[in-house]
Structure 1
Amino acid sequence: MPSRPGLLDRVEQYAVAASLPDAPPVAAGALAVPLGPPAWPFPARPYPGTRTVPADDVRAAVAMQEEAGLPAAVEWVAERTPSLAAAARAAGLLVTEFPLLVVDDPVELLLPLGVRLYLVGADDPALPHYQHLLETGFAPHAAEGPDGGAGEQPGPPDEARTAVLRERVATGRTVVMVAVEDGTPVAVGAHQPVDVDGTEISEVVGVASSPRRRGRGVGAALASALVAQARETADLVFLTAGDDDVARVYERVGFAWLGSTGVAARPPD
């Protein structure tokens, strides 16, 4: 586990700051609830340093989200706000915990021969396609999830969501990379840098690779390249993995376990 002090504090600070340009948060007790466009929703989160969150605060946050047409969603660092899991369950939400990792000793991995890596520009006509691959993990059906994702898979991105992504890429708030072989994307990934009190922190928000190309290290090499690109300006790079097996893949490129991310949402119908 990384020995640098204050890492969980900085992850908390990043999480609240990430929504500020698009969805300034409204307070629901101890929770910050970003209320912005439904095309790019953010979860409610405890304010940094919060240790205890009552169920009534979760209920209030969910009511705000649903009134604004947003999905009911709360996320937190489990080690920092341990009471929130019970509060979310008491409010009727389904709670899951995922591995939280931080770059500790980055490893450079090379792409297989014949695979090229590109940074995706905001005006790239294929951006909606790459966005779809990020959100579905190359899955032809919803049941097939991404390497690093969790939860139900969305349909193809709508125009409003793609417009938000284009603006984020244009302003540098989302960085998208794609690995291409024989003219076909075989892996795609992204990270999202945020300035937190004058220091840049970035979250790797997804790496997905084609099932037909797995076993060749393409996804791991793309993750390595994302980390290298993020660390050109970011002091801290972290991610939440979809499960323990995915976390072990990220360990290959220099991530180390830091804790757990709690996620609460409405149970599926």
Structure 2
Amino acid sequence: MSYLSRVDDYLHAAPLSGAEALDVGPFTLFRSTTIWPYYARPVPGSGATVTVADLEELRARCAELGLPFNLEWVVETCPSLGPAAAEAGLEVTSYPLLVLERGDFTPVTTSLRCEILPASAELLRQARAVADVGFGAPGTAIGEGGIEARDASAASATDEKIAALVERAEAGFSVTAGVYGDRGLVASGIHQPVGDASEVVGVATLPAMRRQGLGAAVTSCLVEHAFDNGVDLVLLSAGSDTIASVYERVGFRRIGHAGAAEPAQPAE
């Protein structure tokens, strides 16, 4: 099986830990059973040529169920979806898609403590806050978001959201790593194992702590845990070519692109 096919199969299976699958034309629509929404994906291996009519059928089904009309896919395994989505008026983006096998793994360390976190509500609340602050200022540039911003974000997170994170951690659906500074976590990330593959997601560093190799260190910690626990292929999508280069330090290599589409946001 090719890397692209294996990644496509993983990405189709991963949402099932928090959603039920509904067939809609050439798509599987993942209807969330937890507190965050999911998306639709083309059925892996179907070879279907997606049309605007297919997308309009999916849009209607999403509206009927009160679900967001969002799509994710591997561009190279469904090349027709991007053009059809653009023709249907959706905003289409693509991101570098990378994989890593054990033999290519290059561990990256940091002078700060980096470790896998237990399923602790306090620690997962802080880790999620690091991610929210980090993704609120995309990219790799040093910024103003630091400990105070993390703590404010942590305080605003609902107990329901944190309970869901703890539940997923306890079930083994997600594994979180964090880097500790003098005042708690300053970088964090997650890997999500399904069988012998896992995806690294949500790697973020507080903007005030960037350019110290912490994102690569968190990723390295997650990859090591994955390989030590039955995984033999790790995948991820990077937000940009610059961010992809961070993961390439750990040994990841690019195999294609992850596509995403959603309704265009109205101009302000």
Offset, 1:56: 2.1
Which position in structure 2 is the counterpart of 1:267? 264
Offset, 1:209: 1.0
Counterparts of 2:184 and 2:209 in 1: how far apart (Å)?
11
Which position in structure 1 is the counterpart of 2:240? 243
Instruction: State the Cα deviation string for residues 57-114 of structure 1 (Å, max 9, x = none).
Output: 22222333344333221011111100000121222210001000001411111112xx
Aligned partner of 1:72 among 64, 69, 72: 69
Which position in structure 1 is the counterpart of 2:21? 25
Gaps of 5+ in 1: 148-154
Which position in structure 1 is the counterpart of 2:10? 14
CA contact (8 A) 2:175 2:190 kept: yes
Please, what TM-score do these two structures have when normalized by structure 1? 0.85
Offset, 1:38: 6.3
Which position in structure 2 is the counterpart of 1:257? 254
Which position in structure 2 is the counterpart of 1:108? 107
Q: Which structure shows the higher helix fraction? A: 2
Q: Post-superposition, which runs of at least 4 consecutive aligned residues in structure 1 deviate over 6 A?
A: none
Counterparts of 1:16 and 1:125 in 2: how far apart (Å)?
31
1:189 matches 2:189? yes
Q: Which amino acid aligns with 2:221?
A: A
Please, what TM-score do these two structures have when normalized by structure 2? 0.86
Counterparts of 2:251 and 2:4 in 1: how far apart (Å)?
18
RMSD: 1.9
Aligned residues: 248
Gaps of 5+ in 2: 141-152
Instruction: Say if 1:66 and 1:127 are closer, same or farther in 2 by CA, change over 3 A.
Output: farther
Which position in structure 2 is the counterpart of 1:226? 222
Q: Which amino acid aligns with 2:256?
A: G
CA contact (8 A) 2:126 2:185 kept: no
CA contact (8 A) 2:4 2:77 kept: yes
CA contact (8 A) 1:35 1:65 kept: no
Which position in structure 2 is the counterpart of 1:163? 163
The secondary structure found in structure 2 opposite 1:160 is helix
Which position in structure 1 is the counterpart of 2:149? none
Which position in structure 2 is the counterpart of 1:151? none
Counterparts of 2:37 and 2:91 in 1: how far apart (Å)?
18
CA contact (8 A) 2:114 2:217 kept: no
